[in-house]
Amino acid sequence: MRLARKLLFYCFTAAYLIGCPLTIAYALGYLYEPGTEHGLVQTGLISLSTTPPGATVYLNNKRYTKKTPAILRGLLPGEYQVRVALREHRSWSRAVTVEGAKAAAHERILLAPSVWRPQTVLTEPFEQLLPLSGGRFAVLLAGPTLGEAMALDVRDALPRPLLPVLSPWRQARLIDQFAVAGAPALLARVEIRGDEHLIWVDVRPEETVIEDLSRFLLHRPVWAIAQPNRKHRLVLFDDETLVALDDPAAPGGILASGVRGAGLDGRWVYLLRRSGMLERLDVDGRDREPLLQDEHLARSLFGTRGFFKILAPDDAFVLFWGEQGRLLGNRLPYRFARGGVTGVVQDPDRPRLLLWRRDAVGVLEYGDAEPDEELFERGPRLWWLAWPLTRVEQAFWAHEGSHALLRDGDELRLLELDPSAPAPPVDIVPVKHKTGALYAESEGAVYYLGAADGRLMRLAITPAREFLTLSRPDRATTTPPAGVRR
């Protein structure tokens, strides 16, 4: 037994001394390529994942046996032509650069169907679709009065009437309206029997709550913000007063005057004063904290006129979106866009914002702090996809942030957000002229009004979110077929 133990011990020690370095070398991508040219080389890999899965992979026009999701290992550094094809879907192709020890990951490839197949939800025609904040609710207008309007909840099979039969607001004629930021609500000016009213229309799963704010009718609302739980709601008017509708001390009272910009984030209200001073208040008005007191810097950034919507994507980053589409931030380089930005929406999963202007879509990445080994702070990075677009009216994050769904003019289009390899947007379907669309990421579906007849349509863009194929490094893996290692 002693001798056997010794022999085995030496065998296992040798196995470890030889096997461990080889395993680690393999894990790091090292391969031995016979021949004098290569010898021991450090390879890279390409990771591919598609929606839907099961697509065939071609590398430099050679077909792999494995379907997506797949990891193509053992690739020598260089550029490869990758194509992914699935029956009845548009193929995806890209020139992918592989570096030694690096993984080139394309893990949210959305394979668009060759033919889109929208479904009709309601056959009645509608004039307008007003999407509300949060991606779950929309208001459908079939005529000029609220009584003809319906509420769309993407979790229900069919829309329901916006107001109950006995509601006194059913006869109200809509003059103008805009969506409240942060909660599924509208702020609207309406007229009943010759009287004008300002109302807050709060669409909830089972019912719609309407609140008359006509006491503020003298002034034009610039922006309305609410917490998702509706505990605190703010409206900024064009006379520079900020009204807190739910102030426990003075309900419906003026929270602050001389305000050119406002924002609401959790328990904090951000205020940009007429003087250019920036501060934040506790929603209950108890704490006040100055954020910018440098008058010179404030004037240089915000000027002396114009309103700003203040967004606080996280504690360290505050964004100021001005009336002319200016976009400023509290981190370098401060001025992100001189004008033209018509929409901003936050990625729910990552520190990114999707921006759009008339002819372009951009992504503002603000997550990275200053890198360890660089002298200068890098700051948030904004990149635009300069593909010619007609007139972007709406944009949504789609497919876990890999794509943007655009309402570009009267067309819904899908754009892959990859700055390294810009690809043209895919036309999906035309929509009724000057009507909105609602994209629900949880359902993977867009709701819109049909271009010809104004019917409410539903089109699945991706599988419902829980069925998405997530990127995982331990999935099916394969090595390249002969002849494609370069």
The residues binding other proteins (CB under 8 A) are: 1-2, 4-5, 8-9, 12, 15-16, 19-20, 23-24, 26-29, 43-45, 47, 71, 73, 101-105, 472-474, 477
Q: How far is the CB of 28 from other proteins (least distance, A)?
A: 6
The pairing of strands 259-265 and 308-314 is parallel
Q: How far is the CB of 410 from other proteins (least distance, A)?
A: 39
Closest contact distance (angstroms) between CB of 339 and other proteins is: 32
Tokens linked to 231? 């505990």
CB-nearer residue toward other proteins: 44 or 159: 44
Min dist. Cβ of residue 31 to other proteins (A): 11
Q: Can you say whether the dihedral through the CA atoms of 6, 8, 11, 16 is positive or negative?
A: negative
Per-residue tokens: 444: 């993977």
Q: Which is nearer to other proteins, 4 or 166 (CB)?
A: 4
What is d(CA 419, CA 299) in angstroms, rounded to the nearest whole number? Answer: 34
Neighbours of 368 (CB within 10 A): 12
Instruction: Name the phi and psi angles at 310, rounded to 5.
Output: -105, 125
Contact between 220 and 238 under an 8 Å Cβ cutoff? The reply is yes
Shortest distance, position 401 Cβ to other proteins, whole Å = 15
Question: Which DSSP letter does residue 6 get?
Answer: H
Q: How far apart are CA 321 and CA 335, in angstroms?
A: 10
Q: 358 vs 475, which CB is nearer to other proteins?
A: 475
d(CA 75, CA 151): 53
CB of 438 to other proteins, least distance (A): 33
**CA dihedral of 369, 374, 377, 378, whole degrees rounded to 10:** -70
Q: CB of residue 15 vs other proteins: minimum separation in angstroms?
A: 6
**Between 109 and 186, CB nearer to other proteins:** 109
HSE-up (13 A, CA, CB side) for residue 257: 3
Is the CB of 15 or the CB of 209 nearer to other proteins? 15
Residue placing its CB nearer to other proteins in the complex, 23 or 390:
23
Residue whose CB is less far from other proteins, 43 or 394: 43
Nearest to 322 by CA among 338, 334, 298: 338
